[in-house]
Amino acid sequence: MKNKPPLPARNSLGSHYGAVQRISDASGGGHSSHTATNPGSRPRSHDSYFRLRKRAASKDLGAVRAGDFKVIDFTNSPKRASVVEIERKQPHGRNFWVYYLILLLVGIGTGTIAMIMDISVSYLESLRDGICMRSPLLSKEICCDGSRSLGNCAGFVEWTTLLSGAVNLGTKMTLPFLGFLIPLLVAIGYVCCSAYLVQRFAPYAAGSGLSEVKAVLNGTVMSGFLSGWTLIIKVVGLGLSVASGLNVGKEGPFVHLSSCLAFTISRLFKRFREDEALLREVLTCACAAGVAVAFAAPIGGVLFALEECSSYYASRVLWRSFFCAAVAALVLMRTN
């Protein structure tokens, strides 16, 4: 039997076989049974060839690495008919209450996150100026609650007064340059901590995330973008960034935060894990809740989700979005 000629190399990421050869060289020549010794030969294992090709395409471990993105195709999905049949046979009442249970949890969670964010930002901002001698964990507003003005508060001591020794001397002597240097260094420390956490643990937490949320709602799947780890790092990083005094807002990031929370909660239920369209309805309601806590406007959140987020907006989602946004706004108003 004659040997078949080798297949010609195609130019996709350079050369497929060149990519295999580069991986073989980088690993010190290991796995010689699966890789070729020259770019013109074909790998012996078909599965190993595509596995190595995928590794070559995914060398960048950042937020835009290959393999993180795919698009949902409901029209050509082989499971679409079976999903429709399952939906037809399942009782409507159970799915209805599970749906609203998820929306209730998302609304409560979004309002709680907004409350924690406001308290932490207020404390970190006051920590740039000084510390409460009565209790170091109190912000300036709470520490000086009984005073007539924040400027004449005896319980809150500024860093300039504390570090210059004026507290121990019983005088009002301060060093003028410390009033500029210390808040600047604290703000730089906030920014550096936020940048390190995002770069090291959750690259998808960078930026507002609003554009990516719109892409997800319109059918794009981004692995890791709505994970719980991204939610945690986003909350911490956003609080540090806002407290540092940077010209950043909480409106866009709160849409991402509420979407991460909705995705995490929805994954606990099998129905929402298997139905991508139903999951995106919940994410749309979460977007309304995120805008509602950012502006204290539930109706504005619903209109934002209707006009800006989803290209397809079912009529049944309108009242569900309002329910989720109203719960989030009420929780924030009652707890803050």
Per residue in 201-213, pLDDT (tens digit) is 999 999 888 989 9
State residue 194 phi and psi, 5-degree precision. -65, -45
Measure CA of the first residue to CA of the last residue in the chain; give whole Å: 80
Six-digit token pair at 187?
Answer: 């703000």
Predicted confidence at residue 197, as pLDDT, reads 94
Task: Compute the radius of gyration of the chain from its Cα atoms.
Answer: 27
- The CA-based angle 212-213-216, given to 5 degrees, is 90
Q: Which helix (H) or strand (E) holds 70?
A: strand 69-71
Query: Do residues 53 and 19 touch, judged by C-beta distance below 8 A?
Result: yes
Separation CA 234–CA 203 (nearest Å): 10
For range 183-191, the mean pLDDT: 93
DSSP for 156-192?
Answer: EEEHHHHHTTHHHHTS----TTHHHHHHHHHHHHHHH
Predicted confidence at residue 88, as pLDDT, reads 52
- Residue 57 banded pLDDT, cuts 50, 70, 90: very low
Counting residues of the chain whose pLDDT is more than 70, the rounded percentage is 66
Six-digit token pair at 331?
Answer: 């929780």
State residue 151 phi and psi, 5-degree precision. -75, -25
**Nearest-10 crossing angle of helices 251-266, 210-217:** 40
- Residue 148 banded pLDDT, cuts 50, 70, 90: low
pLDDT per position as a tens digit, 214-235:
999 888 888 889 999 999 999 9
For range 89-104, the mean pLDDT: 77
Whether 263 shows a pLDDT value over 50: the answer reads yes
- Residue 278 banded pLDDT, cuts 50, 70, 90: confident
Domains observed in the chain: 1-36 (no CATH), 80-335 (1.10.3080.10)
Query: Do residues 248 and 241 touch, judged by C-beta distance below 8 A?
Result: yes
Predicted confidence at residue 84, as pLDDT, reads 53
Query: Do residues 54 and 67 touch, judged by C-beta distance below 8 A?
Result: yes
Separation CA 288–CA 302 (nearest Å): 5
Separation CA 112–CA 331 (nearest Å): 7
Place of tokens 């350079």: 14
